[in-house]
Amino acid sequence: MNKGYVILRKIIKSRGTEILRDKKVLASLLEDLIPGQSREKTTLTLAVSAGVGDLFFTAETSEDAARNGRIEHIREFLTEELGLTGQRAAYIVNAFSYALGFHFVEVDPNETTDYRELAERYEKEGHKEIAALLYGVISDVGNDEARFKSGVALLKSEFAEAREKGFEILKRIDRKDACYLVGVEYIEGKLTERDFQKAGYYLSKAMPYPKALLEMGKLYFYGWGVKPDIHKAIRLFEQYLKKNNWSGSRSQTCEWRTDNVSGQSSQRGISNAQAAPAAVSAQDSWADTAEDITAVLNATPFLIECYYEDILCTKSFRSMEKLTSLADFQGWRMAQRYLLSYYSDAESDHYNEFQAEKYQRKLERNKENPYVRMSRLHGNMGSLMMELKITSALYMYSEGAYMDSAVNLRDHLILGEELNPNGHEDNGALSYLLMGEMFIKSGAVAKNLLRAEIYIRNYLETVSEIKEPKNYTNALIIYSKLLLEHRLGTPKWNSADKCLELAEEISGEPVREELIADLLKMVRYYGNHGESEKAIICLEKAVDFGYRDDYSIIGMVYLNGDDGIEKDEEKGFYWLKKFYDDYMMERLTLEEEVDLGPIEFMLGECYYNGIGVANSREDAIVYYQRAIEHGSASAKEKINFIA
């Protein structure tokens, strides 16, 4: 906010509106409080000395209708009587309006000079259209409509300086569409430094402007400048669709779906022959709703994503109802894919073979969403632009510019309906892989392991014709780690093993060692939270994957039992003997020396008493004697007893 505005407001707030009638004191305060020798100071003190404060005091005590007339009279007084430029007059009027709580627009008293110089320069260089826009900005001070149009036109200029001026103009206009454009610019950071909090501020001011609702929903979706919240995101996306006169209930009047590539349609509950006219009439009625279709394609993929996450996190009945409606009645392939994944998860409590087969059949029949088809007819899908953005994002990501990459990809979900059915690795599939990785560790978006798991799975399920083994292997390894992630629920060992087997088959190299560090973190996590059984299972897996430090505790725990772990003598002997053999064969890399005495004594006990292995007095004596060599008093007593 302009310093002159703020200081004038503080003076009036602390001294009361009566200060406006005291020209000398008010001018003196402004002189003292506004720093330096600036145009703001000279402009305001000149106005106060000329009695403008007294005129505003009269306006402040007037009724609203009369007040507007008085303010216009003040503006005329400043330009005609005092001979000020329109820019400086507008600055004075809006400074006092802000101070008194009236409607105001932020105006820079230096703006006229800046714009005139820039306009003259462009005029000399032969860019008359841009010069005309800048001259228009000067002459249209106070006319928000005209200045908004000029600002938007300047934003489209090929010259960076002109675009920056357009951005400055829009920032000073108190219009919702202007605030929306400013908010988007703070997200993209093309003309100013990226600032998501400022983006949120301007988008909030712009609401309920429909596009502002959409962009604000994305801030909550990605956790940019705000705490991530899918429920707030859902509300904003749904409001956006409502503002565009669309809702899920539209399917009530047009419930048709594509059954095959040729475009035949069937309406629920009636024959294809009866349904055909309905489908045709639906298409005809949509021909005039290109903007509605664009709105649906902009927001619905985000809603599908949010509904699915909500189902997985909270088992929300409302979200399941909404997602099912989008899949069954409106033909959204993305929704059908998510429901197929949901019901076909054999390691979950929501596995349902019948429902999984149902959505598999739907996907096989439904080659293209009707909204996508209609959008193609209108030529407003925007896929080409998104393809270009993804290409740029891939380069940015490779260069380590994660935030730029994430912002470029923020609309990638619009390609969710177009993930190719032929199994090739296209940009749509790559965008899911890229965003999945960013939701894990890049810092460019709020960490969201559940969404990362969903996105990586989307990539893996889409790319059946493997063209880039490196990408696919990397995705399999990441997905395996996510399947074992304790923060996403119970580890899915079987699915993770299958992914790792496939990764090794494709790459021709061992990849399991890459998961050891993650498994050891899980061992510590479960151990600290009293879940001993899960901790031991994770340690077993780590050993299977190549862990070569001390893991003798596995055998000891199974032999003796522990909180939450049933005694299992066969497992206990197997793991203790395996560790001992690995140690003796020098297959381990130990950080600390292991005391073998207790281990050898326990193995002797197993052989002597037939614990998890057949009785063998001879083998028992061998291990007791080895234990004695390592200082085991218990083994010495046992040998004496046997003798």
Question: Is a pLDDT exceeding 60 seen at residue 29?
Answer: yes
Half-sphere exposure of residue 205, counting CA atoms within 13 Å on the CB side?
19
Q: Nearest CA to 419 among 455, 462, 388, 379?
A: 462
Q: How far is CA 357 from CA 270, 332, 354, 364, 423, in A?
A: 23, 17, 5, 11, 20
- Which is nearest to 95 in space by CA: 168, 15, 154, 7? 7
DSSP string covering 208-244, please? TSHHHHHHHHHHHHHTSSS---HHHHHHHHHHHHHHT
Domain boundaries, the chain: 3-100, 248-260+286-378, 548-642
Comparison of pLDDT for 505 and 294, the residue scoring more: 505
Which CATH topology does 548-642 take?
1.25.40
Query: Which one is predicted more confidently, 263 or 200?
Result: 200
Average pLDDT, rounded, for the chain: 76
CB 204 within 8 A of CB 186: no
pLDDT at residue 87, as a whole number: 67
Residue 65 DSSP code: H
* Window from 53-62, 133-142, 582-591, 626-635 with minimum mean pLDDT: 133-142
> Who wins on pLDDT, 297 or 385?
297
pLDDT recorded at residue 263: 37
The C-alpha atoms of residue 346 and residue 137 are separated, in whole angstroms, by 64
What percentage of the chain carries pLDDT values higher than 70?
76
Residue 219, pLDDT score: 92
pLDDT of residue 203: 92
pLDDT mean over 528-540: 82
pLDDT in tens, 79-129: 777 766 666 777 788 788 888 887 766 555 555 545 666 666 666 666 666
Bridge-partner residues for 265, per DSSP? Answer: 258
pTM exceeding 0.85: no
The pLDDT tens digits of the residues spanning 582-608 come to: 888 887 777 778 888 888 889 998 988
Within 13 Å of residue 273, how many CA atoms lie on the same side as its CB? 0
The predicted-structure confidence for 257-274, as pLDDT tens digits, reads as follows: 333 333 333 333 333 333
Q: What is the pLDDT of residues 218-238, one digit of tens each?
A: 999 988 888 989 999 999 999
Torsion angles phi and psi, residue 265, rounded to 5: -130, 155
Q: What is the 3-state secondary structure (H, E, C) of 5-44?
A: HHHHHHHHHHHCHHHHHCHHHHHHHHHHHCCCCCHHHHHH
The pLDDT value recorded for residue 319 is 92
Predicted confidence at residue 34, as pLDDT, reads: 74
Q: What is the distance between the terminal CA atoms of the chain, rounded to a whole angstrom?
A: 95
pLDDT of residue 125: 65
Q: Which of 21, 93, 12, 100 is nearest to 54 (CA)?
A: 21
- pLDDT band at residue 1, thresholds of 50, 70 and 90? low
Q: Which of 16-20, 329-333, 390-394 has the lowest mean pLDDT?
A: 390-394
Q: Which residue has the higher pLDDT, 598 or 173?
A: 598
Whole-number pLDDT of residue 415: 66
